[in-house]
Structure 1
Amino acid sequence: MDILIRQELTEEYNTTEEIVKKAFLHEEYSDKKEHVLVNRIRKSDAFIPELSLVALNQEKDIVGHILLSKIKIVDSNNAVDSLALAPVSVAPDYQKKGIGSQLIHAALKNAKEHGFSSVIVLGHKDYYPKFGFKPASFWNIQAPFEVPDEVFMALELTKNSLENVQGVVQYSKSFSE
């Protein structure tokens, strides 16, 4: 399927939020508020416009979206910058066609090009490892809430970037409002 992936434009925010809302409508482990989260992240200092990407079909309609936002990994001595991958959304009619994978690959490449060295995701244990994600516990990185080990994952965008990093992920306030 021919898909164009590019940075989201400000005037597309409402359309994107509708796509996000529809994408999670029938997801079992969703609170159905992912579109609200996207809106809140955009208004926070965690937002990085260059890491908010959309997927367009051949008619140039938005059919998918991904967002990476700033987080920190904090222990008693250090705070290390990282990114949260949340959420990745594909319109229901376009799911299971590889668009989510294309968005993830593009976002990770973009993040690395912008100087970021790691990404954290809370997601499907059988999906994200194919992009290189491993349980965050491998680096002694923990979630700030109770979650099964296998669904809280991290990825080094640059080799050994998490080697001397440990601690608890600190999400922006957007995630808890």
Structure 2
Amino acid sequence: MGIVTAITIREEIKADQEAVFNINEQAFGRKEEALLVDRLRDSTAFIPALSLVAIYENKLIGHILFTRISITAAGQREATALALAPLAVLPEYQKIGAGTLLVEKGLAKAARLGYNAVIVLGHAHYYPRFGFVPAEKWNITAPFEVPAAAFMGKELFPHALDHITGVVTYAPEFEIS
């Protein structure tokens, strides 16, 4: 029975917003990701059921957000998927399994809600443990220059990305003003 068994995951509620801002600011050492979460909450890409928090000893210690994106190739229909961004854990609670729980519970919930795939721009050595592989496998690309190994996708159902190719379009709130 480790610390990870004492961590619970639940949907974010309005009263969590200040703590979620703090988690993102501390985890990234800057405000940009925290401000992004605030902007995304007001967007059409936001899915309240996929904004999750990790709690340990009655304290919010982590947050993960999945938002709607589209993948489009010229002459093809637009496919809907999810972006995983950001994932944040307070620095003093990192490396105890909170991030892993957030990702696992988030992916499972996304599948239960009927989403087919998730795209992440992240550490090439962290996300593969959850089944993420370079998105170039499906000819899916980022709308900006990024190392192929860091731009990854995961099918939530077998063959969900078969016949899906193109460029990811993120919510406009991702654009830094």
Deviations 1:59-84 (A, max 9, x none): x1100000000000011121100000
What is the alpha-carbon distance in structure 2 between the residues aligned to residue 32 and residue 129 of structure 1? 27
* Structure-2 residue corresponding to 1:65: 63
User: How many matched pairs?
Assistant: 171
Partner of 1:6: 10
Q: Distance in 2 between matches of 1:32 and 1:165?
A: 34
Partner letter of residue 82 of structure 2? L
Equivalent position SS for 1:51:
strand
Q: C-alpha displacement at 1:162, in angstroms? A: 0.1
Match of 2:50 in 1: 51
* Structure 1 vs Structure 2 CA RMSD: 0.9
TM-score (norm 1): 0.95
Give the letter aligned to residue 83 of structure 2: A
> Does 1:86 pair with 2:85?
yes
Q: CA deviation at 1:85?
A: 0.1
Matches within 5 A, 1:121-160: 121-160=120-159
Does structure 1 residue 17 correspond to structure 2 residue 15?
no
Q: Distance in 2 between matches of 1:12 and 1:62?
A: 8
Secondary structure of 1:19 counterpart: helix
Partner SS state of residue 164, structure 2: coil
2:172 matched residue in structure 1: 173
Identity of aligned residues (%): 46
Q: In the alignment, is the contact (CA less than 8 A) between 2:24 and 2:31 conserved in 1?
A: no
The CA deviation at 1:32 is 4.4
Q: Quote the Cα distance in structure 2 between the aligned partners of 1:148 and 1:92.
A: 26
Q: Per the alignment, in what secondary structure is the counterpart of residue 128 of structure 2?
A: helix
Q: How much has 1:164 moved relative to structure 2?
A: 0.7
Q: CA deviation at 1:90?
A: 0.3
Q: Which runs of 5+ in 1 are unaligned?
A: 26-30
Q: Supply the distance in 2 between the matched residues of 1:126 and 1:149 (Cα, whole angstroms).
A: 13
Give, in angstroms, the shift of residue 12 of structure 1.
Answer: 1.0
In structure 1, the residue matched to 2:97 is 98
Segments ≥4 residues shifted beyond 2 Å: none
Q: So what's the TM-score if we normalise by structure 2?
A: 0.95
Whole-Å separation in 1 of the counterparts to 2:56 and 2:79: 37
- 1:115 aligned onto 2:119: no
Where structure 2 has 5 or more consecutive residues not aligned to the other structure, the ranges are none
